[in-house]
Amino acid sequence: MYRSHVLVCGGTGCTSSGSETLISLLQEELKKNGLENEVAIVKTGCHGLCAQGPVMVIYPDATFYSMVKPEDIPEIVSEHLLKGRVVTRLLYVEDGGKAKALKDTDFYRLQHRVALRNCGIINPESIDEYIGTGGYEALGRVLTEMSPDDVIETILASGLRGRGGAGFPTGMKWKFASGNRGNVQKYVCCNADEGDPGAFMDRSVLEGDPHVVLEAMAIAGYAIGASQGYIYVRAEYPIAVERLNIAIKQAREYGLLGKNIFDSGFDFDIDLRLGAGAFVCGEETALMTSIEGNRGEPRPRPPFPAVKGLFASPTILNNVETYANIPQIILNGAEWFASMGTEKSKGTKVFAVNGKINNTGLVEVPMGTTLRTIIEDIGGGIPNGKKFKAAQTGGPSGGCIPAEHMDIPIDYDNLISIGSMMGSGGLIVMDEDTCMVDIAKFFLEFTVDESCGKCTPCRVGTKRLYEMLDKITKGEGTLEDLDKMEELCYYIKDNALCGLGQTAPNPVLSTLRYFRDEYIAHIVDKKCPAGVCKALLSYKIDADKCKGCTLCARNCPNGAISGKLKEPHVIDQSKCLKCGACMEKCRFGAIYKE
C-alpha cells in the first residue's frame, strides 16, 4: 500500500517540456528520503492542460502543481511528501483566483469526460489499472450476455456519430457490414492517423488509455463478425505507438485478444500499421489502400468499405475517439449516452483547443456547449487582452466561426449550417492579429501539399486557388478574382474524388463569407488589416520619437534607412524588404508598421 500517489503527465506535451526528467529526479529524491515504499510515481497520459506543463497531481488530496521544473523536485519531496506541506508557489492558480483542487478549476469543472475518462488518471502501460477502472468489463458483457445484433442495436440507439469528422452514425456503419457473419473474412480498422494540424485528441487517448481502443475494436469485431483488426497510427506519434504495442502484448497475455476470448469461442486479434505522413490517408479508402502497402490514394465509392474495403473484404473503420466511447455505452446503456448532447448529436466531444488562447489543451464537453463557454470559461480567454476574431474548426476541411456565432451550441449540424464542420476536433483560436486571407492561404498550401494527385479537381484546382490567394496577399488581386475563386471552390467541391478534395475549399469559402471585408482591404486598399501580409505592410519612422541613434540604419540589411546622427531617420519604401529588423532593434518604439 502506498500512502500517496504522484501522477506525472507523460503525454507528448508534458514530455516535450521535460516530464521524463522530473520522473527520474523524483525517483532519486524519494529514495534519498527513504520514501520509495510509501510514495508511488505513476506516469499517466495527458491531463489536458498542456499549456501549464509539465503538470503533476499528488493524491490523496489531488494537489495540482503546474510548470514544475527539475529544481522544484527536492522541495516537493521534502515539503509535500515528507512533511505534508503543500508547496504553494507551484500550485496552479487561475486568473486572480485562489488555488483549488483539480476538479474545481474552471478548466475542469465545465468538462464532462467520457472518452478521456482514464486519461491522466491511470498508468497507460498497465492493463491492471485499466481493468481496475472497469476496463474489459464491457467486452466481457458483450461476449457473454449479448448477441452481435444486440450490440449493434445498442450503438444505434445511443446515437453515437463518428468523431473523425463527417459524423456518420456509428451503429449504421456497423449494421451495413454485419451481413453474412462467419462466412466471409472481415476487418475492423481504427483510424489513428490524426493529420489535422492542431489536433491531438486521438493521440492523447492512445497515449493515456490505449486499452479502451483495443476493447472497443474487439466489441466491434464481435458485432460485425470480424476476427482481425488493424490500427493505422501515425509514425510521428512514437509514444502512442509504444503504448499501443505494450497494450496489445498485455491484452494477448491476459487472453483478452487472441483465440477464444472469455471462453466464448470468439477470436480477435489486432495489429498495428504505421502511417507514414500522408494527410490523405485519414480518408477511409486511402487508409485502406495504404494498409495494403500501396501509395495511399483514395478509391471511388461505391463500393463502400462495408461491402468491399480492406483487401476487398467488408470492413468498418472508426476513429479513436469514437471507439473510446463504445465500452462506456455498453456498460451504462444507450439511454445514458443519448441523454447527453443535442437532439441529433449525442454524447460529448473532445476538442484540442489551441492558438491564441490561455489554456491550450484538451477539453471534453457535452455536444451543444457553446464556443463562448469553451473559449472564455474553460479556455481562460485570449492572452494579452486581445480581441477574439474567429475560431477555426475542422482543420483544412473546416471553416472559421466568427464572433457573431460564438453562442450557437456546437454540434455536427449547427457547424455545417454556419459553413464550418466538426472535423476531428481541432479548435484554433484566432485574435485580431491573425489575417484571415493568410489563414486561408495557409490551409490551401497544406492541401496543395497533401493532395495525392489522383484526381484533377483537387490536384490542379487547389493549386489554382492557392495561387489566387497568394496574389491577393501580395496586393495584386482583383475583385474579379473573388468571384472566380468562389466559382472554382464550388467546382472542386462537386467534382473531387474524396473527402480531402471535396472539403479543401471550405477555408476559402468560410473566410469569404465572414471576412470578405478583409479580402477587399487587401485588393482595393492594398492593406492587410491584421498587419500580417508582408507585401502590404510598410514600416515607417515616427519623426517625433526618433532620436537619430542610427541603430536601425546600421541593422537594415538592404541600406533602406538613411538619416543623420541625432536627426530623425527615414525609410526608403522602394528599398525596404519588410524584414522588421529595424523595428526589433529600435529602443524608442519609433518604428511602426501600417
Q: Which of 76, 375, 452, 482 binds another protein (CB under 8 A)?
A: 452
Would you say 416 or 581 has its CB closer to another protein? 581
Would you say 328 or 462 has its CB closer to another protein? 462
Strand order in the sheet with 266-275: 258-261, 266-275, 228-234, 187-192, 315-319
According to CB under 8 A, which residues from 225 to 284 bind another protein?
A: 235-237, 273-279
576's grid cell? 525596404
> Given the rule CB under 8 A, which of 46-54, 153-161, 326-334, 538-546 is the region that contacts another protein?
46-54
According to CB under 8 A, which residues from 159 to 198 bind another protein?
A: 195-198
241's grid cell? 505507438
Asked if residue 391 lies in contact with residue 167, where contact means CB atoms within 8 angstroms, the answer is no
For the CB of residue 540, give the shortest distance to another protein in the complex, in Å. 21
Would you say 17 or 414 has its CB closer to another protein? 17
C-alpha 153, offset from chain centre: 30
296 contacts another protein (rule: CB under 8 A): yes
Is the alpha carbon torsion for 576, 581, 584, 585 positive or negative?
negative
According to CB under 8 A, which residues from 303 to 332 bind another protein?
A: 311
Helix orientation angle between 320-332 and 137-145, rounded to the nearest 10 degrees = 60
291 contacts another protein (rule: CB under 8 A): yes
For the CB of residue 312, give the shortest distance to another protein in the complex, in Å. 11
C-alpha 364, offset from chain centre: 12
For the CB of residue 32, give the shortest distance to another protein in the complex, in Å. 28
Would you say 52 or 158 has its CB closer to another protein? 52
Would you say 51 or 256 has its CB closer to another protein? 51
For the CB of residue 195, give the shortest distance to another protein in the complex, in Å. 7
Question: Which of 45, 103, 50 has its CA nearest to residue 354?
Answer: 50
User: Please, where are the H alpha helices in 162-236?
Assistant: 170-176, 201-208, 210-224
Question: Which of 215, 266, 274 has its CA nearest to residue 242?
Answer: 274
For the CB of residue 385, give the shortest distance to another protein in the complex, in Å. 17
According to CB under 8 A, which residues from 430 to 449 bind another protein?
A: 430, 434, 439, 442
Q: Which of 7, 23, 50, 326 binds another protein (CB under 8 A)?
A: 50
392 contacts another protein (rule: CB under 8 A): yes
Query: How many whole angstroms separate alpha carbon 156 and alpha carbon 174?
Result: 9
**DSSP letters along 352-415, please?**
EEEES-SS-EEEEEETT-BHHIIIIIIS---GGGPPEEEEEESGGG-EEEEGGGTTSB--HHHH
Would you say 430 or 498 has its CB closer to another protein? 430
With contacts defined by CB under 8 A, how many residues of the chain interact with another protein?
A: 48
Helix (H) or strand (E) holding 57: strand 56-59
Cβ neighbours, 10 Å, residue 568: 15
Query: How many whole angstroms separate alpha carbon 376 and alpha carbon 392?
Result: 15
Q: Which of 27, 180, 260, 294 binds another protein (CB under 8 A)?
A: 294
290 contacts another protein (rule: CB under 8 A): yes
Please report, as a single letter, which amino acid is at residue 548.
G
389 contacts another protein (rule: CB under 8 A): no
Q: Which of 163, 175, 203, 211 binds another protein (CB under 8 A)?
A: 203
Asked if residue 10 lies in contact with residue 207, where contact means CB atoms within 8 angstroms, the answer is yes
For the CB of residue 236, give the shortest distance to another protein in the complex, in Å. 7
Residues that bind another protein (CB under 8 A): 12-13, 16-17, 50-53, 195-200, 203, 235-237, 273-279, 290-296, 311, 352, 354-356, 360-361, 392, 395, 426, 428, 430, 434, 439, 442, 452
